[in-house]
Each structure stands twice: as structure tokens, then as C-alpha cells.
Amino acid sequence: MTKKQVKSKRLIAAKNLKRGLIGLFAILAIIFIINSPILKIGYVKVTGNSYLPREDVLQIARITEPINIFSVQTDVIQNYLQNDLRIDTAKVWRDFPNCLNIEIVERLPLAVMNCSYGYVDLDKNSVIIDTYKDPKKIQKPVIVGISLDDVYTGDKVENEVVNKVLSYLGYLKPEVLQQIIQINIADANTIEAYTLKGTKIILGNIEDPEDLANKTNEFFYDVKTTTIPVEYIDFSYARPVLKIKQ
């Protein structure tokens, strides 16, 4: 082998070594960047939630803060969220360098019912979207008079009276719905609602939920500016009957 050939082989070996070192440094740099604290998501921004607490949304998404921004699979997180009955749609995206955005549209509950192990939240379609034992979690009117037995999230309550009540509640204005704390359906022909101020609203058998809800909305609008205490209003007659507290 000539000196020229030996020199050429040495140059090739040196170039290969240089390339290898460059590749090694590149891999180490990538590993450092991936594990850098700079790329830890400092905050997960959750929007669109009014019923679900932020902590519950993170739990559904299976997120524990902080997480590495490169380890986040937005499509997987989005599927986790959309597979939960309490969430209608979800959108997940990154905001570099250190933020993850979660935007959801909730399936909001309209009422709560008792069951054999606690409480269930019902949406407008009489579907159970959540179950829990803590009464402090109750945020909507409680339907009393009947109790559910063994029911689970995702079940649909097949009860005509309950369906009518949920339809009625769905037509109420949000600010009016907030004033209703209980609806008694023990007597299907004399359904009664109760407000935060103790006023009784006699709904009758709820033949026309939308019309009855419109009357209820008007009633709350009329009494909003008055200081006269109302004991009850009865919508079961052709003309509502109002009784003032003595």
C-alpha cells in the first residue's frame, strides 16, 4: 500500500469519525432539548368549561402537570375528552414553547335525580352524563318524587314525566333555571317546582313544556323588580293564579 493510499484512508477515517461525533452530539442535543425544563408545559389552558371543573377536564384527558411538550399527543388527548359523555366536542393544540390548549363544548346537565348509590346528572335527552355521591356537586334542580335504581353513566331514563320536566327546563332562560332548586313529580298531574326564595310554582301535568316555560320566564321577569313576596303561582289554570305571602 502506498503512502498516498494510507494517507487517503486516514483522511476518510478522520471524516467518518468527525461525522460520527457530529451525529452523537446531535443526538445528545436532541435528548437535552426534549428533556429541557424549558419544554415542560407550564400551563394547560382549559376553555369552554362551566360545568366541569378544570381538574376534572385534566383527569379525563389523562394529563398530569407538568408534561413534556414533545410527549403530548394532541389527537389522543382529544379522543379521551370526546369519549366522555359530559363533553360534546373537544379541540386540543399546542402553543409553543410551553402551553397546551384544551377547548371543550360540554353536554350540560339540566337536572339531578337520586339513585340507589347517590345522584345522577341528566341532559336534555334524559341521558345520564354523570354519577356521584357528594351532594355538594349538585348544581341543577333536583327532581324528587321518584328515585332511580341501578343506573349508570350513558343510560337513558325512560320516564314520560321526567322527559316532560327536562323538556320544560330546557326552554327556561339560564338565569331562570338557576332560580329553580327542586321539582316534585310525585303526582304527575300536579308537578311542582320550588325556587331559591321558597316560591312554589305549580306546573300541573306539563302538557306543553315550551308554553309553560315561556310563562315561567315571564313570571320571573315580572317579579324581578318587585318586593312583594309571592307564596305560589299556579299555571295549571287557563289564567295563572297568584297568591301573595301574608
Q: Of 88, 106, 124, which residue is a domain's last? A: 106
8: confidence class by pLDDT, cuts 50, 70, 90: low
Question: Which CATH number belongs to the domain containing residue 58 in this structure?
Answer: 3.10.20.310
231 and 128 inside one domain: yes
Q: How far apart are the C-alpha atoms of 131 and 138, rounded to whole Å?
A: 10
* Strands 43-47 vs 87-95: parallel, antiparallel or unpaired: unpaired
Q: How far apart are the C-alpha atoms of 36 and 225, rounded to whole Å?
A: 59
Three-class secondary structure of residue 66 per DSSP: coil
131 and 14 inside one domain: no
Q: Of 66, 83, 106, which residue is a domain's last? A: 106
| Nearest alpha-carbon partner for 174 in 198, 140, 208 | 140
131 and 237 inside one domain: yes
Q: Which domain holds residue 224?
A: 111-244
246: confidence class by pLDDT, cuts 50, 70, 90: confident
DSSP 189: T
- Residue 211 near residue 164, CB atoms below 8 Å: no
Note the pLDDT tens digit of each residue in 172-230: 999 999 999 999 999 999 999 999 988 999 999 999 999 999 999 999 998 887 777 88
23 and 79 inside one domain: no
H-state helical runs in the chain:
3-34, 54-60, 74-82, 160-171, 174-177, 209-223
Q: Of 106, 123, 144, which residue is a domain's last? A: 106
29 and 118 inside one domain: no
Q: How far apart are the C-alpha atoms of 71 and 169, rounded to whole Å?
A: 43
78 and 1 inside one domain: no
Question: Which CATH number belongs to the domain containing residue 199 in this structure?
Answer: 3.40.50.10960
64 and 154 inside one domain: no
- Total domains in the chain come to 3
Crossing angle of the two packed helices 209-223 and 160-171, in degrees rounded to 10 = 40
130 and 236 inside one domain: yes
Note the pLDDT tens digit of each residue in 86-138: 999 999 998 877 789 999 999 989 999 999 889 999 999 999 999 999 998 89
26 and 13 inside one domain: yes
Q: What is the mean pLDDT of the segment spanning 135-153?
A: 91
Residue 145 neighbours by CB under 8 Å, 6+ apart: 184, 185, 186, 187
72 and 194 inside one domain: no
43 and 19 inside one domain: no
So what's the pLDDT on residue 30?
55
23 and 51 inside one domain: no
